[in-house]
Amino acid sequence: MTVRLAKVLAPLLLVGCASFGAPQKLDNCYRFEEGFGKDVVTGIAKAGTDRMICKTGPVIQPSATQQLLNLPYPNQKTVVAVYNFGDNSGQRKGGDNIASFSTAVTQGAHHILIEALRDAGRGNWFVVVERTGLDALTKERQLVRSTFEAYNKGADGKTILKPLLYAGMIIEGGIVSYDTNIRTGGNGARYLGIGMKNQYREDIVTVTLRAVLVQTGEVLLNVTTTKTILSTGGGGDVFRFIELGTELVEIESGSTENEAVGQAVRAAIEAAVYGLVIQGLEKEVWDFDYPSLGEKE
């Protein structure tokens, strides 16, 4: 028997590298355990990294979507508004010897945030009101009102439009950084003209999220999450002289795999929303039945 709130907090440890926990060891990933006791290449790789390198390419860690869906239901939904959740990293997409004007991360992160808020507790945690398209919504309501008044003269005078909901909280934040080449490395070997190699690179995207109380402007909750973006590449080549050294055979093959930046941003935002709910539970911000420490199920 455990305290109910403890069960709520337990999944926080399972979010993985997208939020607060350490990356889990997967079957197709390994660590450099042997170090310089094996060879110089492995020793250098071990000294340069303490994380897992995946043999078969980058593996997208499970996002917090399932944790969001499985949150226990509160007593009452909280009405929240999202005005802006943009890219504050200032990073441009990398290119070889060219000036790229494309951004490194998505410019539509607020859409992902709204979806994550609506996914919390299968839609039972937040009521998200439209604010990013408020101008269009206001114009459409004015059109409905003017049309109703023009074609219903002499009626009972009742309006068909309900008043707009106002939010008790504003959800703010953004993508604050996108750091590239945090860790790079690889290894390879060649023997008698036959060689193989593999390389990896790690980038990190950081997201911050906060909840602001509309009545006072106080920042009640603030969460920062990071997500690692892994890129790997591998290949082999053959460079041999045959027929008594008169004919050259050269073969080269390789492939690369890059974890999608958009998927990484989604995982970081979902983890941030999950962390915001959990932090609110710890501080007793939400309308939720908080059990006493001595209460057992």
- 260-297 pLDDT per residue, tens: 888 888 889 999 999 999 999 888 898 888 765 444 44
Amino acid identity of 132?
T
**66 contact partners, CB below 8 Å, separation of at least 6:** none
DSSP-derived letter for residue 98 is S
Distance CA(39)–CA(122), nearest Å, equals 52
Per 3-state DSSP, what percentage of the chain is helix, strand, and coil (rounded to 5)? 30, 30, 40
- 229-241 pLDDT per residue, tens: 888 899 998 888 8
Contact predicate 71/62, CB 8 Å? no
**134 contact partners, CB below 8 Å, separation of at least 6:** none
- 70-94 pLDDT per residue, tens: 888 899 999 999 998 888 777 777 6
pTM: 0.69
pLDDT, average across residues 109-137: 90
pLDDT > 90: percent of the chain? 20
Report domain extents, the chain: 58-131+167-282
More confident residue, 247 or 90: 247
More confident residue, 105 or 38: 105
Per CATH, the number for 58-131+167-282 is 3.40.50.10610
pLDDT of residue 163: 85
pLDDT > 70: percent of the chain? 71
The total of other beta-carbon atoms located within 10 Å of residue 37's CB is 9
